[in-house]
Amino acid sequence: MGTPKFTEFGLCVKKRLLDLGMTQKELEQIISERTGLFVDTGYMYKILSGQRAAPKISEAIKEVLQIDT
């Protein structure tokens, strides 16, 4: 009841990570390197659950995972 569910984008990211055999931690590291922005598990969760809008990070995620959502 208390935890937000993932957005459509968040679910797409999670599924794609599974498909690629990549961990969320690996994705966070790649995104941090590409954007120069701080990304950790908590921040990633907020992005994937819709609690934070982070257009630069979201675009980098789409590029890395090759998704169109």
* DSSP assigned state of 66: T
* Six token digits for residue 41: 């598990």
pTM, 2 dp: 0.88
Using one digit for the tens of pLDDT, what is the confidence trace for 5-45? 999 999 999 999 999 999 999 999 999 999 999 999 999 99
Give the chain's end-to-end CA distance (angstroms, integer).
26
Alpha-carbon distance 6 to 20, whole Å? 19
Alpha-carbon distance 58 to 46, whole Å? 11
- At residue 1 the predicted structure's pLDDT band, cuts being 50, 70 and 90, is low
